[in-house]
């Protein structure tokens, strides 16, 4: 005699149930508070490695404009200071925060200084680089203000070089909103 046992159908996993490298990466605020990016789940993200003493530093103004223009529609701009390129981010967390606010009125989240390349590269940037390699498939970030656009599901959509001005990304952002 053959016995058939009915099994309850498996419930589909929702985005909230699935671990994701972007949302689960440990981050630290400029105030030294630990956290992750899970509060931004379901929102498009523009993740940027930044520096205060770089020729591209004026891009903070353009990033703030994107934040102001698209923030109410869900976009979150995230800044991650890095001192790996020409030692152009030598400041303390307090100095970085004051610089961003005083010079560019930055109101988007800026996190504690991290490495984006090498053995100590932050896991978030390891993931971003693997998902969106640079020119000729290189993973290394070449300079400050490399930008990564991430969709609402946490998929890395595109990588932009330091030379790409924030306003040039607007049409790509609009497609995600």
- Catalytic one of 2, 54, 82, 100: 54
Beta bridge partners of 27: 35
Half-sphere exposure of 18 (CA within 13 A, CB side): 12
d(CA 145, CA 19): 27
The residues, any chain, with a CB within 8 Å of residue 12's CB and separated by 6 or more, are none
The token pair at 96 is: 């970085």
**Sign, CA torsion 98/103/108/111:** negative
Residue 100 appears among annotated catalytic residues: no
The most distant pair of C-alpha atoms in the chain lies apart, rounded to whole Å, by 80
Note whether 112 and 29 are within 8 A (CB): yes
Q: How many residues does the chain have?
A: 177
Where in the sequence numbering do the catalytic residues fall? 54
């Amino acid at each position: 005699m053959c016995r058939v046992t009915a099994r309850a159908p498996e419930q589909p996993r929702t985005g909230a149930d699935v671990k994701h490298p972007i949302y689960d990466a440990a981050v630290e605020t400029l105030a030294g508070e630990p956290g992750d990016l899970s509060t931004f789940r379901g929102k498009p993200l523009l993740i940027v490695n930044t520096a205060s003493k770089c020729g591209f530093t004026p891009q903070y103004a353009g990033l703030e404009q994107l934040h102001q223009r698209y923030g109410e529609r869900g976009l979150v701009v995230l800044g991650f200071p890095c001192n790996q390129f020409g030692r152009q981010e030598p400041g303390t967390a307090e100095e970085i925060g004051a610089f961003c606010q005083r010079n560019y009125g930055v109101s988007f989240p800026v996190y504690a200084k991290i490495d984006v390349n090498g053995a100590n590269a932050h896991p978030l940037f390891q993931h971003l680089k693997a998902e969106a390699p640079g020119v000729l498939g290189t993973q290394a970030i070449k300079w400050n203000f490399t930008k990564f656009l991430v969709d609402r599901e946490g998929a890395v959509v595109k990588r932009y070089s330091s030379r790409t001005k924030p306003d040039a990304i607007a049409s790509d952002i609009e497609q995600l909103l």
